[in-house]
Amino acid sequence: MSALSLRRPTRRAQAGKAVAVALLLVFTLFPAYWMLVSAFDAKAGLQTSFVPAEPTLDHFRFVLTEGGFDVFLRNSAIVALATVLVSALLALLASVAVARFRFRFRTQILLMVLVVQMVPLEALVIPLFVQVRNLQLLETLLGLVIVYVALALPFGIWMLRGFVAAVPVELEEAAYIDGASWGRMFRSVLLPLVAPGLVATSIFSFITAWNEFLFAMTLLGGATEHYTVAIGLRSFFGQFSNQWGAIMAASTIITVPVMIFFIMVQRKLAAGLTSGAVKG
Amino acid sequence: MASTLQAPERGGGTTSSPRSGGGPGRSWVARTRPWLLLAPGLLVLAVLMLWPLVRVVLFSLQDYGLREIVSGEPNWIGLGNYTEVLTSSQLWAVVLPNTVGFAVIAVTATVAFGTAVAVLLASLGTVWRTIVSSCIMAAWAMPAVTGTYVWVWIFDADRGVFNHVLQALGLQDAPVNWFTDRWSFYAIVLLNIVHHGFPFVAVTVLAALLGVPRELLEAAEMDGAGPWRRFFSIIVPQLRQVFAVVVIMSTIWDFKVFAQVFLMPGGAGTNREVLNLGVWSYVESFGQNRYGFGSAIAVLLTVMLLVVTAVYVRTILKEDEL
A154 with A112: CB under 8 angstroms? no
Query: Between chains, do A153 and B294 touch, taking CB under 8 Å as contact?
Result: no
At A237, is the secondary structure helix, strand, or coil? strand
- The predicted structure's pLDDT at residue A1: 41
Whether B230 is in a domain gets the answer yes
Domain CATH number, residue B309: 1.10.3720.10
In this complex, the residue of A46, A147, A266 whose CB is nearest that of residue B133 is A266
Q: Does the beta carbon of A125 lie under 8 angstroms from any beta carbon of chain B?
A: yes
Q: Is A164 exposed, middle or buried (0-12, 13-18, 19+ CB in 10 A)?
A: buried
DSSP state of B204: H
Q: Which of B146, B151, B277 to mutate to test the interface with A (most CBs of A within 10 A)?
A: B146
A–B interface: beta-carbon pairs under 8 A: 355
Distance, in Å, from the CA atom of A270 to the CA atom of B130, rounded to the nearest integer, reads 14
**Amino acid making up residue B186:** Y
A31 with B138: CB under 8 angstroms? no
Which residues are CB-neighbours of A204 under 8 A, at least 6 positions away? A152, A155, A156, A159, A269
Q: Which of B28, B48, B62, B313 to mutate to test the interface with A (most CBs of A within 10 A)?
A: B48
B248 with B204: CB under 8 angstroms? no
- Give the pLDDT means over successive 10-residue stretches in chain A (280 positions): 57 90 96 94 76 89 91 96 96 93 89 84 94 95 96 91 88 90 89 87 89 96 93 86 90 90 71 49
Query: Between chains, do A147 and B161 touch, taking CB under 8 Å as contact?
Result: no
Which residues are CB-neighbours of A101 under 8 A, at least 6 positions away? B18, B19, B20, B21, B22, B33, B34, B37
pTM: 0.88
Whether B24 is in a domain gets the answer no
pLDDT above 90 covers a percentage of chain B that reads: 57
Distance, in Å, from the CA atom of B4 to the CA atom of B27, rounded to the nearest integer, reads 39
**Amino acid making up residue A278:** V
Q: Is A128 exposed, middle or buried (0-12, 13-18, 19+ CB in 10 A)?
A: buried
Query: Between chains, do A131 and B204 touch, taking CB under 8 Å as contact?
Result: no
Whether B123 is in a domain gets the answer yes
B200 with B114: CB under 8 angstroms? yes
B195-215: per-residue pLDDT in tens? 999 999 998 899 888 888 888
Whether B306 is in a domain gets the answer yes
Whether B5 is in a domain gets the answer no
Whether B113 is in a domain gets the answer yes
A13 to chain B: closest CA residue: B123
Q: Which of residues 235-274 of A touch B (CB under 8 A)?
A: 244, 247-248, 251, 254-255, 258-259, 261-263, 266-267, 270-274
Whether B182 is in a domain gets the answer yes
Domain region containing B238? 89-321
Summary mean pLDDT of chain B: 87
Whether B22 is in a domain gets the answer no
Report the Cα–Cα distance between both ends of chain B, in Å, rounded.
16
B60-69: per-residue pLDDT in tens? 999 999 888 8
Q: How close B321 gets to chain A, by Cα (Å)? A: 9
- Collect all residues of chain B within an 8 Å Cβ-Cβ radius of residue A176: 23-24
Report how many domains make up chain B. Answer: 1
Distance, in Å, from the CA atom of A41 to the CA atom of A254, rounded to the nearest integer, reads 18
Distance, in Å, from the CA atom of A246 to the CA atom of A66, rounded to the nearest integer, reads 11
Which residues are CB-neighbours of A49 under 8 A, at least 6 positions away? A37, A41
**Amino acid making up residue B6:** Q
- Collect all residues of chain A within an 8 Å Cβ-Cβ radius of residue B147: 31
Distance, in Å, from the CA atom of A132 to the CA atom of A144, rounded to the nearest integer, reads 9
Query: Between chains, do B52 and A128 touch, taking CB under 8 Å as contact?
Result: yes
The listed range with the strongest mean pLDDT (A63-67, A75-79, B120-124, B174-178) is A75-79
- Collect all residues of chain B within an 8 Å Cβ-Cβ radius of residue A6: 214, 217-218, 221
B242 with B208: CB under 8 angstroms? yes
Complex ipTM value:
0.88
Query: Between chains, do B305 and A119 touch, taking CB under 8 Å as contact?
Result: yes
Q: How close A245 gets to chain B, by Cα (Å)? A: 10
Which residues are CB-neighbours of B169 under 8 A, at least 6 positions away? none
User: What CATH fold (topology level) applies to the domain A63-279?
Assistant: MetI-like fold (1.10.3720)
